């Protein structure tokens, strides 16, 4: 065997060893790179934010409900943003969650309500530009004409939080009403923000 052939074999062996080592290093590097990418993916339960807080829930959305706020001579409808576990792409479910918070009553510092605390939501359906709100009969009891107007305003504005131009149909125990309570408050249905502002004064 010539000296040249020995040199070639040694060189080939060295090159093969270097190539094998390079593949191994690349494989290890790739593995740790993938691990880092995986750990940086949002929603990984092992990830903790730098400030120590858990990532916010992705299914929480903000809804707006309305309370009554005294202005000295009357009342204003005061909006409050709340977090609800609902999808805005499912408007009926979204508004149902908002109404449950409204009927639960105001929290500290959020204004007052004219809606009787016994009132229950029997159903709500949002379809197209129409919203049907079905409440228990308790809604029409108690309070004078100002209270009746205030509670209707709370319902109309909360029901139109997704679409301010929506038409609201108010039902009690499944029946659409034209007159509310002992005060005989006439309601022009469908109710809208526009005709509420035009026909009633808080």
CA distance 61 to 81: 10
Chain mean position to CA 47: 24
Asked, for residue 45, whether it belongs to a domain, the answer is no
pLDDT in tens, 177-188: 999 987 789 998
Range of the domain at 88: 61-199
Mean pLDDT calculated for residue range 27-51: 42
Summarised one tens digit per residue, pLDDT across range 136-179 is 999 999 888 889 999 999 999 999 999 999 999 999 999 999 99
Number of domains composing the chain:
1
pLDDT greater than 50 at residue 31: no
Does residue 34 form part of some domain? no
pLDDT of residue 72: 86
pLDDT of 4 higher than 60: no
Contacts of 14 (CB under 8 A, 6+ apart): none
pLDDT: which is higher, 86 or 120: 120
Residue 86 located in a structural domain? yes
Helices (runs of H) and strands (runs of E) counted in the chain: 4, 8
Does some domain include residue 56? no
């Amino acid at each position: 065997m010539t000296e040249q052939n020995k040199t070639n074999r040694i060189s080939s062996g060295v090159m093969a060893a270097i190539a094998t080592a390079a593949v191994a290093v690349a494989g290890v590097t790739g593995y740790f790179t993938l691990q880092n990418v995986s750990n940086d993916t949002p929603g990984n339960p092992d990830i903790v934010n730098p400030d120590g807080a858990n990532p916010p829930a992705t299914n929480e959305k903000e809804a707006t409900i309305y309370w009554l706020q005294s202005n000295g001579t009357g009342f204003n409808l005061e909006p409050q943003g709340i977090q609800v576990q609902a999808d805005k792409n499912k408007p009926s479910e979204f508004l149902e969650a908002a109404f449950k918070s409204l009927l639960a009553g105001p929290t500290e510092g959020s204004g007052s309500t004219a809606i009787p605390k016994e009132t229950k939501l029997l159903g709500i359906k949002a379809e197209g530009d129409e919203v049907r709100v079905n409440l228990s009969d308790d809604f029409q009891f108690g309070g004078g004409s100002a209270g009746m107007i205030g509670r209707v305003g709370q319902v109309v504005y909360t029901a139109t939080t997704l679409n301010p131009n929506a038409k609201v149909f108010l039902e009690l125990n499944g029946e659409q009403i034209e007159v509310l309570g002992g005060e005989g408050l006439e309601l022009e249905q469908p109710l809208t923000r526009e005709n509420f502002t035009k026909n009633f004064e808080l």
